[in-house]
Amino acid sequence: MKRLSETPLVHPDAGVAATRLGRYTEVGARTRLVESVLDDYSYIVEDGEIACTTIGKFGSIARAVRINPGNHPMERASQAHFTYRASAYWPDEEEDEAGFFDRRRASPVTIGHDVWIGHGAIVLPGRTIGTGAVVGAGAIVTKDVAPYTIVVGNPARPVRRRFPEPIAERLLVLAWWDWDHERLRRALPDFRGLGVEAFLEKHGG
Condensed to tens digits (0 to 9), the pLDDT of residues 97-127 reads 888 888 889 999 999 999 999 999 999 999 9
With beta carbons less than 8 A apart as the criterion, state whether 52 and 68 touch: yes
Mean pLDDT of 22-29: 98
Residue 37 confidence (pLDDT) above 70: yes
Residue 197 confidence (pLDDT) above 80: yes
- Cα three-residue angle 57-111-130, rounded to 5 degrees: 100
First to last CA, the chain: 35
So which residues are the catalytic ones? 72
What's the pLDDT score for residue 170?
A: 97
Nearest to 115 by CA among 47, 171, 35, 173: 171
Please tell me the pTM assigned to this model.
0.93
With beta carbons less than 8 A apart as the criterion, state whether 73 and 57 touch: no
Mean pLDDT of 6-17: 98
Classify residue 171 by burial, with Cβ atoms within 10 Å: 0-12, 13-18, 19+.
buried
